[in-house]
Amino acid sequence: MQRLFEFTDFLEKEGIAPTFHKIETAGTEPEVIINGKKVLMFSSNNYLGLALHPKVIAKAKEALEKHGLGPGGSRFLCGNIDILDELDKETAELVGTEDAVTLPTGYMANVAVFKAIMDPIIGIFPYRKGEGVIFSDEFNHGSIVDGCRLSYAEKVIFRHNDLSDLEKKLKRSSLRRHKMIVTEGVFSPWGEFAPLPEILELAKKYNAVFMVDDAHGVGAVGKTGGGAVEHFGLRGQVDIVMGSFDKALGGMGGFLASGKKLAEHLRVAARPNILSSAVSGVLAGGLIEAIKICRSEEGIKLRSQLSANADYLRKNFNALGFKIVGNGEVPVTPVFIGEESKSIRLADRLLEYGIYSPSFRWPAVPKGESRIRITPMATHKKEHLDALLHAFGKVKEEFKL
Strand partners, 136: 157, 182
| Binding residue (CB under 6 A) for ligand PLP from 29, 88, 137, 184 | 184
Member of 44, 91, 97, 110 binding ligand PLP (CB under 6 A):
110
Residue 102 interacts with ligand PLP (CB under 6 A): yes or no:
no
Alpha helix (H) residue ranges in 276-369:
281-295, 297-320, 340-352
Q: Which helix (H) or strand (E) holds 40?
A: strand 37-41
The yes-or-no answer on residue 188 being catalytic is yes
Amino acid 93 reads: E
Q: DSSP class of residue 52?
A: G
Min separation Cβ 146 and ligand PLP, Å: 10
Catalytic residue among 141, 169, 216, 380: 216
b/e burial code for range 242-267 (CB count within 10 A of at least 16 → b): bbbbbbbbbbbbbbbbbeeebbebbb
Q: Which of 30, 106, 226, 227 binds ligand PLP (CB under 6 A)?
A: 106
Would residue 141 show up in a list of annotated catalytic residues for this protein? no
Phi, psi of 329 (to 5 degrees): -85, -15
Site string for ligand PLP, 193-232 (x = CB under 6 A): --------------------x-xx----------------
Pair 30, 380: CB distance under 8 Å:
yes
Can residue 105 be called a binding residue for ligand PLP (CB under 6 A)?
Answer: yes
Look up 66 and say whether it is catalytic.
Answer: no
DSSP string, 62-79: HHHHHH-S--SS-TTTT-
User: What binding mask, one character per residue, do residues 138-157 give for ligand PLP by CB under 6 A, x or -?
Assistant: ---x-x--------------
Q: Which is nearer to ligand PLP, 176 or 247 (CB)?
A: 247
Asked whether position 244 contacts ligand PLP by CB under 6 A, the answer is: yes
CB 170 within 8 A of CB 206: yes
**Counting contacts by CB under 6 A, is residue 328 touching ligand PLP?**
no
Please identify every residue annotated as catalytic: 188, 216, 247
The residues that touch ligand PLP, with contacts defined as CB under 6 A, are: 105-107, 110, 141, 143, 184, 188, 213, 215-216, 244, 246, 254
